[in-house]
Amino acid sequence: MGVSVAFLLEFGLILVVLSLLGALARRWTLSPVPLYLLTGLALGDGGIVQVPEAGEFVEIGAAIGVVLLLLALGLEFSIEEFTTSLRRHIPSAGVDIVLNAAPGALAGWVLGLNGVGILALAGATYVSSSGIIARLLSDLRRLGNRETPAVLAVLVLEDFAMAAYLPLLSVVAAGGAWWQAVLWVAVAVSALAAAFAGSYRWGHHVGRVVTHPEAEQSMLRVLGITLVVAALAESVHVSAAVGAFLVGLTLTGEAADRARAVMEPLRDLFAAVFFVSIGLLVSFSEMLPLLPAAAVLATLTAMTKVATGWYAASRDGVARRGRVRAGTALIVRGEFSIIIVGLIGRQEERLVPLVSAYVLILAVVGPLLTRFAGALSPGLRKQAR
């Protein structure tokens, strides 16, 4: 089997650079995610250095990365406690849609986009990045905070909404009939409901299957089952991330502890690849003219996401400081926004660079705001978690 020297060199140098940036971020107690994203931008189209050989692997690795990030997030909770949290946060989902989809739709109308473009931009501003936020909460050691269940409930409800939204957008963008859109939405929602019910009722059997005294066997079983479930979810237009999250929720106790131990190194590797891939997708030369519009939209929807997180955390009785942390954690947009504009192709030439610039701004600024959210004012410091 031939080995590409160029691929090994490019990918090896990428990992070395990420290691140095990660060490720098840790020294200043920051999440390395913004630096990873900027690295991807520097390596992308129009960037400082090109990595043509490593690009394809990075794209594939990114898909695995977001799956492993959501698996790890699901491992932190049981499906029973999370089901209770979801029920409590149905109103939060309504607030989220109104506050965050509306600015995108309005911006699309102002920019003169067609109906498909307006629908796509509304989705891009609505949905937060589950992958980046999952890593961010872990980096900042906030998985045990009181506001975190509210944040996760909002994220998962967004992903559930994507199960209906993505099939609808796909059919509309392709010029399909209304009955086709209704059919695919029904299939996706039914599949998601069945998967959630199955995880709730029979999930404990999965724990017995994946638990093994040998680390290699545990890793292969957890990874294999997670990728299969993610693929099945994606095949019916439900996010692969949702499928992975459900697998994580089904594993509890010893099975969850074992899965965390064997999957953590693999998660960290592919998560870093995922963050680089977002930067690689952005063409700096194309998005430069649209940076002012993207900055205005990013500022507006950052504020609406803070309001969303504040409201969701308040439903759990979280103090003001925790509400601010919840709101700033939700600011980040990422993989879903890129997927959304990818579905409509080049029907709207301005939309891809606009959303790319929008995602990049919030993916870089969001983690920084989250990091310093607890120290925004002297009054907030006095609030209990």
What's CA 93's distance to the chain center, in Å?
Answer: 16
pLDDT at 332: 92
What are the residues whose beta carbons fall under 8 Å from the beta carbon of 140, sequence distance 6 or more? 31, 370, 371
Q: Do residues 72 and 260 lie in contact, with contact meaning Cβ atoms separated by under 8 Å?
A: yes
DSSP string, 101-124: HHHHHHHHHHTT--HHHHHHHHHH
pLDDT at 379: 43
Phi, psi (deg, nearest 5) at residue 213:
-65, -25
pLDDT at 331: 95
pLDDT at 2: 62
What pLDDT tens digit does each residue of the chain (385 aa) get? 566 888 999 999 999 999 999 898 878 777 788 888 888 888 877 678 888 888 888 888 988 988 898 888 788 777 776 777 778 898 999 999 999 999 999 999 998 988 899 999 999 999 998 878 888 888 888 888 999 989 988 988 887 788 788 888 888 887 877 788 788 788 877 877 777 777 667 766 777 888 888 989 999 999 999 999 889 888 876 678 778 888 888 887 888 888 989 998 998 899 889 888 877 877 777 788 889 999 999 999 999 999 999 999 999 999 999 999 999 999 999 877 877 877 776 667 778 888 888 988 998 888 889 888 755 444 444 443 4
> Which tokens go with 257?
């502890």
Which structural domains are found in the chain, ordered by start?
A: 12-20+31-49+58-373 (1.20.1530.20)
> Which tokens go with 384?
């209990």
pLDDT at 345: 60
CA distance 348 to 116: 9
CA distance 371 to 59: 28
CA distance 79 to 246: 8
pLDDT at 197: 75
Gyration radius from the chain CA atoms: 20
Strand, helix or coil for residue 141: coil
Please choose, from the candidates 241, 245, 130, the residue with its C-alpha nearest in 3D space to the C-alpha of residue 196. 245
Q: Do residues 345 and 15 lie in contact, with contact meaning Cβ atoms separated by under 8 Å?
A: no
Q: What DSSP designation does 3 have?
A: -
pLDDT at 144: 86
> Which tokens go with 166?
């993505």
pLDDT at 346: 62
What are the residues whose beta carbons fall under 8 Å from the beta carbon of 13, sequence distance 6 or more? none
Specify the residue for token string 């996401």: 305
Residue type, 319: A
Q: Do residues 39 and 364 lie in contact, with contact meaning Cβ atoms separated by under 8 Å?
A: no
CB atoms inside a 10 Å sphere around CB 4: 12
What are the residues whose beta carbons fall under 8 Å from the beta carbon of 34, sequence distance 6 or more? 363, 364, 365, 367, 368
To the question of pTM greater than 0.75 for the whole model, the response is yes
> Which tokens go with 50?
């090109």
CB atoms inside a 10 Å sphere around CB 277: 26
Cα dihedral 375, 297, 185, 67, rounded to 10, equals -50
Q: Do residues 283 and 64 lie in contact, with contact meaning Cβ atoms separated by under 8 Å?
A: no
pLDDT at 347: 66
What are the residues whose beta carbons fall under 8 Å from the beta carbon of 238, sequence distance 6 or more? 162, 163, 188, 191, 192, 195
CA distance 121 to 115: 10
pLDDT at 130: 83
